[in-house]
With several copies, the nearest count.
Chain A
Amino acid sequence: MAAGNMSESNSIVLTRAPLDARALERLVADPGAGAVVSFVGLTRDHHLGRRVLGLEYEAHEILAKRMLEKLRDEAIQRFGLVRAAIYHRLGRVEIGEASVVIAVSSAHRAAAFDGCRFLIDALKTSVPIWKKEFYADGSAPDWVGPDGNPVSI
């Protein structure tokens, strides 16, 4: 496959604008790709029993972008993907909006499912992006870790 040909600068984006899953799916489409799998992470209205009003994301942007590029290249190599793209929101995100969209294409579907899942799992554990949740019950907002639990001292 065309491993390693995805250094296009528009395949990894951190943005304050709403995400467009369809645009990503178009970005990874290719005449040699028979399968596109995409993952959309949506902000939910509750978390650990508390109603969530909204979220804020921040990142170490230089480092996060570089880690995402590295993960994209690793996924393309390891799973034989044709293309992969990852967009993540920063700043305030309303409930029900997409915080992250990942789309990958491959000749056959198994690689696309495995590659997409690898990317969202790796993003959660190894990319310096942080999420702050604001609650309806008036309690202080929490920074939420990769396990879903609040980060605390």
Chain B
Amino acid sequence: MIVSVFYHAFLREKLGRESELLAVFGEAPNAGAVVDAFVSAHPEFARLAGSLNVAVNDEIAGRAAAVNEGARVDLLPPYGGG
């Protein structure tokens, strides 16, 4: 299954891109599987993966949240507002 993954702030700058398409495997892919696919594609972010928040179709989602074909997934690095 293919999902559109969007990067923000620190992630966008380090990766040099705003988004990309990632292939996610498994029978019922969830947000955690998208993070795993991201780390497979960019192993240098393995340590940061645990502190990423994930939004699926513009809603904050836990790692167990379902992700459907064609979903928009945002990977959100640690926040710095305030």
Which residues of A come within 8 Å of B, CB atoms? 41, 57-60, 62-64, 66-67, 88, 99-100, 120, 123-132, 143-146, 151-153
Note all chain B residues with C-beta closer than 8 A to A146: 78-80
A57 CA to B80 CA, complexed, in Å: 8
- B62 CB to closest chain A CB (Å) equals 13
The 8 A CB mask of B59-77 against A (1 = contact, 0 = none) is 1100000000000001011
- Complex: how many Å from CA A39 to CA B9? 25
Is B82 a contact of A123 with CB atoms below 8 Å? yes
Smallest beta-carbon distance A111→chain B, Å: 15
Q: Residues of B contacting A62 with CB < 8 Å?
A: 58
Q: Of B60, B80, B82, which one neighbours A63 at CB under 8 angstroms?
A: B60
A126 neighbours in B (Cβ, 8 Å):
79
Smallest Cβ-Cβ distance to A120: which chain B residue: B82
Asked if B10 is at the interface (CB within 8 A of a chain A CB), the reply is yes
CB-based contact B55/A144 at 8 Å: no
Bound complex: CA A63 to CA B58 (Å): 6
- Chain B nearest CB from A70 CB (Å) reads 10
User: In the complex, what's the smallest C-beta–C-beta distance from B8 to chain A, in angstroms?
Assistant: 6
12 A-B contacts (beta carbon < 8 Å)? A58-B9, A60-B8, A66-B58, A125-B79, A128-B79, A130-B79, A130-B81, A131-B80, A143-B10, A145-B77, A151-B77, A153-B48
B82 — which chain A residues lie within 8 A by C-beta?
Answer: 41, 99-100, 120, 123-124, 129
A63 to B54, CA, bound (A): 11
Task: Contact check, B76 vs A131: say whether CB atoms are below 8 A apart.
Answer: no
| Chain A residue at minimum C-beta to C-beta distance from B10 | A143
Give chain A residues whose Cβ lies under 8 Å from the Cβ of B47. 153
Interface pair A130/B58, CB less than 8 Å apart: no
Residues of chain A lying within 8 A (CB to CB) of residue B78: 145-146, 151
Q: How far is the CB of A125 from chain B (nearest CB, A)?
A: 7
B42 (CB) vs chain A CBs: closest residue = A153
